[in-house]
Amino acid sequence: MTKTMRCMSVLALTWGCSGESTSSLTEPTNPDVVEPEPPSVYIYEEEAPPQPEAALADVNVALQSALDATLSINAAPVLAAYDEVMAASSATCPYFYNTQDGTYWLDSCVAPSGAQFDGYVSAFTIEDQLDPESGALFSLSYAFGGATVVDDLGNMLEIGGAAGLQTQFLEFGEIDVYIYTTQLQGAFSWDGASAAGTWLETDIAPDLTVQITDAIDFGFSTGVTGGFGGLDGWAVAYDNNTIFSATFGSSCPEELSGTVGVRSPDGHWYDVRFDGPVSEKSPPVPAADCDGCGTVYFQGVEMGQSCVDFSGLTTWEDSPW
């Protein structure tokens, strides 16, 4: 086979053969078309990462204040204030609807007592009801809504969210067990006399759930999630943290589990990581790590240690609230 035939059989779809240039066979360039310039490389000038403005000691003080205040920030003052202002209502102001879930009202009116009601509230209360499955007696008080009520004395209650309390009582042999749960989500204020000495007379804004199991003369556990602000500009955020007694299986009953977030007044968060176990099935905590101290991080960089007292989460009289 000649060179010419090889070219035809192998390169039949090409424009040339034997090194022949194809430049003369291309279409002419349009002089009116301007070819775009290739894009320039965009370089992002990275800013310096933020630096902690709060001192380690300030983080420690704020965290300790939050731990000491947590159990006092519960739904009891809100529910008591609601019962108090509703005592000034009448049969028609506000107009109530009775449902299987409690009572509900949506109204804007002035009662004969002079109390003013504006908004809506759904409320529910039960006492010592038996749960046939667990055999527990439980009580529940709950209010949810968005309302402003001015009672007959001129005291104002504002409800913008949910407030609930629940108590369960069980018997395990000779051990009495109480399970207490409080939930606060939203904004609340009350300027009546009963607010004195409670968190309602402060600037605290809660989104907090706390559950405590108290086995009388045996042991305890406390679980917290959510958080609250209003601590002189500081705030705290729990993430399903727990602390429980050795009798409940804790290898470190002196220390909380997980990480607690602390926000400074300038808006920066500091993470405090503790060594406490999550449950009785967690790996044992080394004795050297069970010291009540957590490691403080800012933007993932270690700052030092925060050593605090957790007794505010583990100590109460007859009940935590």
Q: What is the pLDDT of residues 264-302, one digit of tens each?
A: 999 999 999 999 999 999 999 999 999 999 999 999 999
DSSP secondary structure code for residue 201 in this structure? G
Domain assignment of residue 278, given as a range:
54-72+219-321
Q: Is residue 17 part of a domain?
A: no
Answer yes or no: do 67 and 94 share one domain.
no
**Does position 23 have pLDDT exceeding 50, yes or no?**
no
Token output for 199: 């968190």
On average, the pLDDT of the chain sits at 89
- How long a stretch of residues is the chain? 321
Which percentage of the chain shows pLDDT scores above 90?
A: 79
Answer yes or no: do 116 and 160 share one domain.
yes
> What does the pLDDT look like over 176-213, one tens digit per residue?
999 999 999 999 999 999 999 999 999 898 999 999 99
Answer yes or no: do 183 and 291 share one domain.
no
Which amino acid, one-letter code, is at 95? Y
- The per-residue DSSP string of 54-106 comes to S-HHHHHHHHHHHHHHGGGSSSHHHHHHHHHHHTT--SSSSPEEEETTEEEEE
Answer yes or no: do 227 and 314 share one domain.
yes
Q: Which residues pair with 76 in a beta bridge?
A: none
Answer yes or no: do 64 and 118 share one domain.
no
Token output for 13: 């779809």
CA-closest candidate to residue 255, choices 302, 196, 314: 314
Answer yes or no: do 197 and 224 share one domain.
no
Answer yes or no: do 61 and 103 share one domain.
no
How many domains does the chain contain in total?
Answer: 2
**Does position 18 have pLDDT exceeding 50, yes or no?**
no
Indicate the pTM of the whole model: 0.82
Residue that has been written with the tokens 């809504």 in this structure: 145
Answer yes or no: do 159 and 280 share one domain.
no
> What does the pLDDT look like over 210-236, one tens digit per residue?
999 999 999 999 999 999 999 999 999
| Three-state DSSP class for residue 195 | helix
Answer yes or no: do 271 and 150 share one domain.
no
State mean pLDDT over 131-146. 93
Q: Is residue 46 part of a domain?
A: no
Answer yes or no: do 298 and 229 share one domain.
yes
